[in-house]
Amino acid sequence: MSFDLAVWEGERPADDEAAAQCFDELYERYIGEDGQDVPPTERIAAYVAALLERWPDLTEDEDDISPWSTGPLISEASGPLIHFSMRWSMAEEAAVHASQVASSMGLNCYDPQSQCLLP
């Protein structure tokens, strides 16, 4: 079982409903079935690098301490969006950290399961 988050560039949506719509549109454009194969933007690549400063990429995790469910983590990013999964057992700690890093970088962080924008 895993826990997903989405992080993207752009103006902060006004509310959870607007965030859900924004996420859906970005997902379809960059990741979904019709998604384009677009390299991550510099800000999203920097965000991934910041996450990997705390925990290793799953592909390099010899000690089984990474919260990421897939690797390399950067492969989950496309254009201004990253949609990634965390192991359920570490989701709370990792999600708080991921949200804080996103906020510090002026990025939006969204929980697709709860359909809510995180602080």
Residue 106: is its pLDDT beyond 90?
A: yes
* pLDDT for 61: 87
- Dump pLDDT digits (tens) for 35-47: 777 999 999 999 9
| 115 and 16 Cβ atoms separated by less than 8 Å | yes
Residues sharing a CB contact under 8 Å with residue 68, sequence separation 6 or more, in sequence order: 55, 57, 58, 84, 85, 86, 87, 94
Residue where the block lists tokens 């920097």: 46
Q: What's the whole-number average pLDDT of the chain?
A: 94
User: What φ, ψ does residue 78 adopt, rounded to 5°?
Assistant: -150, 120
Rounded (10°) angle between helices 42-54 and 91-104 = 140
Residue 96: is its pLDDT beyond 80?
A: yes
What are the residue boundaries of the structural domains of the chain, listed by start? 2-108
- Dump pLDDT digits (tens) for 35-89: 777 999 999 999 999 999 999 999 998 888 999 999 999 999 999 999 999 999 9
* pLDDT for 119: 87
Percent of the chain with pLDDT over 70: 99
Residue 2: is its pLDDT beyond 90?
A: no
Residue where the block lists tokens 């859900």: 20
Residue where the block lists tokens 């690549």: 45
Which two structure tokens, joined as six digits, stand for 43? 């800000």
